[in-house]
């Protein structure tokens, strides 16, 4: 079945450093979504990318969708303690319109 892999599994940074997490799918995706889960919280939708090569920004967060629509990345510039949490990517499961396959996530911790 479809697999969505994320690296790294963990990342610890000093506040102010940049952070990047990568997401790779075993199949071409029609779209990819990113979610953030704060410690002890629940996943919250951040963004969806649909077009090949698409780049979207949300303040210090930059999301990219690969040209082949099989990979994606999330880059955070100048991390803050409020960025702490687990970042998940998710893509349609086997082309399904109603199921998502989530990556295992990247846990980001930030040292103030």
Q: What are phi and psi of 95, to 5 degrees?
A: 80, 5
Binding another protein (rule: CB under 8 A), the pick from 20, 31, 62, 77 is 31
How many residues form the binding site for another protein (CB under 8 A)? 21
Is residue 85 a contact residue for another protein (CB under 8 A)? Answer: no
Is residue 88 a contact residue for another protein (CB under 8 A)? Answer: yes
Binding another protein (rule: CB under 8 A), the pick from 22, 92, 108, 110 is 92
Token duo for residue 12? 């610890």
Quick one: DSSP state of residue 9? S
Of 56 and 77, CB closest to another protein: 56
Note the Cα 42 to chain centre separation in Å: 15
Cα separation, 11 vs 40, in Å, equals 18
From 13-21, 38-46, 58-66, 72-80, give the range in contact with another protein by CB under 8 A: 38-46
Find, among 108, 111, 104, 96, the residue nearest to 29 by Cα.
96
Is residue 66 a contact residue for another protein (CB under 8 A)? Answer: no
Contact 73, 87 (CB under 8 A): no
- Give the residues lining the site for another protein (CB under 8 A): 9, 31, 33, 35, 41-45, 48, 88, 92-93, 97-100, 102-105
């Amino acid at each position: 079945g479809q697999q969505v892999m994320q690296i790294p599994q963990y990342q610890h940074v000093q506040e102010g450093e940049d952070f990047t997490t990568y997401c790779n799918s075993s199949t071409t995706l029609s779209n990819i979504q990113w979610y953030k889960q704060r410690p002890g919280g629940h996943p919250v939708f951040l963004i969806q990318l649909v077009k090949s090569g698409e780049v979207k920004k949300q303040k210090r967060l930059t999301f990219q969708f690969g040209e082949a629509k099989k990979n994606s990345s999330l880059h955070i510039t100048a991390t803050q303690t409020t960025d702490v949490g687990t970042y998940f990517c998710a893509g349609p499961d086997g082309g399904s319109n109603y199921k998502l396959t989530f990556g295992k996530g990247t846990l980001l911790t930030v040292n103030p």
